Amino acid sequence: MFKGSLPALVTPFRNGELDLETLKKLVEWHIGEGSNGLVPVGTTGESPTLTHREHEQVVEEVVKAAAGRIPVIAGAGSNNTVESIRLARHAEKVGADAILVVTPYYNKPTQRGLIAHFTAVHDCCELPIIIYNIPPRSVIDMTPATMGELAKLPRIVGVKDATGDLARVSYQRMTCGEDFCQLSGEDATAHGFNAQGGVGCISVTANVAPKLISQMQAACAAGDYGAALVIQDKLMPLHKAIFTEPGLVGVKYAMSRLDLCADEVRLPLTGLLDETKALVDDGLRHAGLL
């Protein structure tokens, strides 16, 4: 259902406000560069610092700009089940193709609580749901057994797995089935993730290198892991540099170097240190982008 290169879309700002015109241009650029879908208002879209209305605006504008040409998986995660339900219903109302729902952060639910949370979101609308499992940010790790229980629900169709544990792909194939849509949430291991049975990546680096990442994903899908590895090697210094500081800050700086958008972020995030900027510049050069 969802596969290939799916950029975790940044939210452009200008003087503290949403830069919707640049957002629309980015959607067009991604479609032209071969991205297979877009994921607005995830963590890379700075969802933690957007107001509810801004969150809704970004989803609406991306859906409208994509115009059905590629799927839009809208971020609808929260540690508040009621709020996640509201975001899910809004995404459905404006025409998103699916929603990305993160494991609730900070309040540390049990595995039983995770099942209750995702079941409630599942039952509130008709959109397919991609689970977002990212223990380093949310503290909670959804186990393969829990994911297997949730996969029995008809609209829980896949996972964005940011555990960095490649064995998880095989474990989740065991508990969720071979057709469960497993998407990497970590650029550095995306090649190996596909070799284990993944079908794509919700990628941060794809914000600045969409064509290369789309080509790498296409090579994996064709079974040509040698060709995919050549591209991954080309991108690896950029992956590493972007995540030297928070990834969305790194990728916005990289995008600013290519005149794609401003490098502006909202507090508590701050701009890159000069030494990190130099690493990103080097990574862009290594990838042939600068």
Query: Where do the domains of the chain lie?
Result: 4-221
Residues 260-281: pLDDT tens digits?
999 999 999 999 999 999 999 9
- Per-residue confidence (pLDDT) for residue 20, from 0 to 100: 98
pLDDT confidence of residue 83 = 97
For the segment 20-41, what is each residue's pLDDT rounded down to a tens digit? 999 999 999 999 999 999 999 9
Confidence of residue 103 (pLDDT cuts 50, 70, 90): very high
Please tell me the predicted confidence (pLDDT) of residue 219. 98
Q: 248: how many CB neighbours lie within 10 A of its CB?
A: 22
Instruction: Please tell me the predicted confidence (pLDDT) of residue 173.
Output: 98
**For residue 254, what pLDDT is reported?**
98
Check pLDDT > 90 for residue 1. Answer: no
- How confident is residue 248, by pLDDT bands cut at 50, 70 and 90? very high
Homologous superfamily of domain range 4-221? Aldolase class I (3.20.20.70)
> Are residues 36 and 68 in contact, defined by beta-carbon separation less than 8 angstroms?
no
Residue 250 has pLDDT above 90, yes or no: yes
Per residue in 108-167, pLDDT (tens digit) is 999 999 999 999 999 999 999 999 999 999 999 999 999 999 999 999 999 999 999 999
* Residue 99: Cβ-neighbour burial (10 angstroms; 0-12, 13-18, 19+): buried
What percentage of residues in the chain have a pLDDT greater than 90? 100
Residue 242 confidence (pLDDT): 98
What is the pLDDT averaged over residues 185-214?
Answer: 98
Residue 6 pLDDT exceeds 90: yes
Quote the mean pLDDT of the chain: 97
Q: Bin 219: left if φ > 0, else alpha if -120 < ψ < 50, else beta.
A: alpha
Give the sheet arrangement for strand 181-184, strand by strand: 4-7, 200-203, 181-184, 156-161, 129-133, 98-102, 73-75
Mean pLDDT along residues 230-240: 98
- Which residues does the annotation mark as catalytic? 132, 160
Secondary structure of the chain as H, E, C letters: CCCEEEEECCCCEECCEECHHHHHHHHHHHHHHCCCCEECCCCCCCHHHCCHHHHHHHHHHHHHHHCCCCCEEEECCCCCHHHHHHHHHHHHHHCCCEEEEECCCCCCCCHHHHHHHHHHHHHHCCCCEEEEECHHHHCCCCCHHHHHHHCCCCCEEEEEECCCCCHHHHHHHHHHCCCCEEEECCHHHHHHHHHHCCCEEEECHHHCCHHHHHHHHHHHHCCCHHHHHHHHHHHHHHHHHHCCCCHHHHHHHHHHHCCCCCCCCCCCCCCCCHHHHHHHHHHHHHCCCC
What pLDDT, on a 0 to 100 scale, did the predictor assign at position 236?
98
- Average pLDDT of the segment spanning 82-99: 98
